[in-house]
Structure 1
Amino acid sequence: MPESLNILFTAKEQVTLERSPVAEPGPGEVLVRTTWTLVSTGTECICYGQLYEPGTHWERYARYPMAAGYSHAGVVERVGPGVTELKPGDRVASFASHRQWVCAPADHFLRVPAGVSDEEATFYALATVVQNGVRRAAHEMGDIVAVIGLGILGQLVVQYARVMGAWEVIAVDPS
């Protein structure tokens, strides 16, 4: 089995390419070969540069060494005993980090439909976060929605707000 190359933030403004053995999937797990990952520049720049105040949720999240990334697509290579929902050759998306190989429980992966590219599939993690936020915003069909900040998340919020029935979406980017 090959080694996996993994991107790690090891300290403030320090990044390394780590080699690790690729695990065989155990019961309920799958082994996925990465085909594409997405860089979320906001989160990754904040964690890489330690651009947060002490005591915030960022300090709890960005603990070094930290596996960078959380938007992943790949192909199932092996399945462990008891896995029935995925099979070798299935294309999947997940919240996994920037690494060549991922071995994790099968329910951490979502099968990618035919017609969706691996690049598009990497948006699964971000879209899940945004969709959850838009649904919790307690808006109704016909509301006017303002989105402040048009980074990647803000742009996804604009799209979800329209799809979920906003009458008008006002997008503001301060930069």
Structure 2
Amino acid sequence: MRAVVYREFGSHEVLGLEEVEPPPLGRDAVLVRIHAAAVNPVDWKIRAGRLAGVLETWFPAIPGWDFAGVVERVGPAVTELAAGDRVLGYARMDVVRWGTAAEYIAAPIRTVAKAPDSWSLQEASTLPLAGLTAYQSLHGALGVGTDDVLYVNAAAGGVGTFAMQIAAAAGATVIASTSPRNFSYVEGFGARPVDRHAPLAEGLARHGLRITAAFDAVGGEALDELTALTPRVCSIADARVGDAGGAYVFARPDRADLGSLVALADAGQLRTELSEVFPLEETAAAHALSERRSTRGKITIAVA
């Protein structure tokens, strides 16, 4: 199969397209013909070696955890899916080796769910990691509900875009921190924008609101500012949040949570924003774009 491979840690230039053996199909896994594979910041952080102390990498490695495609075969213990099913998944495994920037993935059934009927497979590929990160943060760590005013920073990014919508579906009011050029974008999801370059108190005063919970995707000083305002804070960027009584979230593959996200999508309560689509052979360019940290919505790779 064709796959993008890297044989050492480094910049996006270590990525190259190669012919490799397809991954082995486990007894409780499904072999999926990948149609699209989204790019997430964690992909290039792993490739650069920045998570080497947290995640073990076996070289040669294929980057990527997100995918959407069609089931080709199922392992003998799988009853939940069948050949021909349209699926999506967050294929994070115990080691970094078989990734999704490839024509096939053998994904454990716990990481896979049927794709939304109302979304294309390119759109569906953007949902797993970013959607699970937002869903597990808001419903698991924060318990966001109808009485909440939720603050979301980096709101125009991939995770932020889903966080705004998941919070709105739960009945919360959303305050979205972003650049002024993205104000109309976040307003399109029902959020109330504040300028990320201005003091937070100034933005909140503009809307006459007081936040009851906060979702942090930035860390550092931004996190410090939030923990001074509310004890209900979760962060996906800074583990120090635990020292302030908040929660650090690193998304887990969860078939039930994926199903909840798909249900929101098919109910019209969740949509995605595809900012850029690259062919498989330009995966390095997709990583380079993601590393600029200015993307609105999601980047995905068209494999088929």
Q: Which of the five TM-score ranges fits, normalised by the shorter chain?
A: 0.7 to 0.9
1:24-173 to 2 correspondences below 5 Å: 25-40=25-40, 42-50=41-49, 59-61=53-55, 63=57, 65=59, 66-96=61-91, 97-122=100-125, 123-135=127-139, 136-150=141-155, 151-166=157-172, 168-173=173-178
Measured after TM superposition, the shift of residue 22 of structure 1 is: 1.8
Measured after TM superposition, the shift of residue 30 of structure 1 is: 2.1
Measured after TM superposition, the shift of residue 129 of structure 1 is: 1.6
Measured after TM superposition, the shift of residue 83 of structure 1 is: 2.5
Per the normalisation by structure 1, the TM-score is 0.79
Measured after TM superposition, the shift of residue 45 of structure 1 is: 3.8
Q: Unmatched 5+ residue regions in structure 1?
A: none
Measured after TM superposition, the shift of residue 133 of structure 1 is: 0.3
Partner amino acid, structure 2, of 1:37: A
Q: Write the distance in 1 (CA, Å) between the matches of 2:55 and 2:76.
A: 32
1:140/1:15 Cα in 2 relative to 1: closer, same or farther (>3 Å)? same
Q: Write the distance in 1 (CA, Å) between the matches of 2:81 and 2:31.
A: 11
Q: Write the distance in 1 (CA, Å) between the matches of 2:130 and 2:73.
A: 26
Q: Would you tell me which structure has more helix in proportion to its own residues?
A: 2
**Which string of whole-angstrom CA distances, capped at 9 and with x for unpartnered residues, describes residues 41-97 of structure 1?**
x323433445x5xxxx67413747453221101111122323322111111111132
Question: When the two structures are aligned, how many residues end up with a matched partner?
Answer: 166
Measured after TM superposition, the shift of residue 36 of structure 1 is: 0.7
RMSD of aligned C-alpha atoms?
A: 2.6
Identity %: 27
Q: Would you tell me which structure has more strand in proportion to its own residues?
A: 1
Per the normalisation by structure 2, the TM-score is 0.48
Q: Write the distance in 1 (CA, Å) between the matches of 2:24 and 2:57.
A: 27
CA contact 1:6–1:20 (8 Å) conserved in 2:
no
Q: Unmatched 5+ residue regions in structure 2?
A: 92-99, 179-195, 198-304
1:70/1:9 Cα in 2 relative to 1: closer, same or farther (>3 Å)? farther
Q: Write the distance in 1 (CA, Å) between the matches of 2:102 and 2:148.
A: 41
Measured after TM superposition, the shift of residue 159 of structure 1 is: 1.3
Q: Write the distance in 2 (CA, Å) between the matches of 1:78 and 1:46.
A: 32
1:171/1:9 Cα in 2 relative to 1: closer, same or farther (>3 Å)? farther
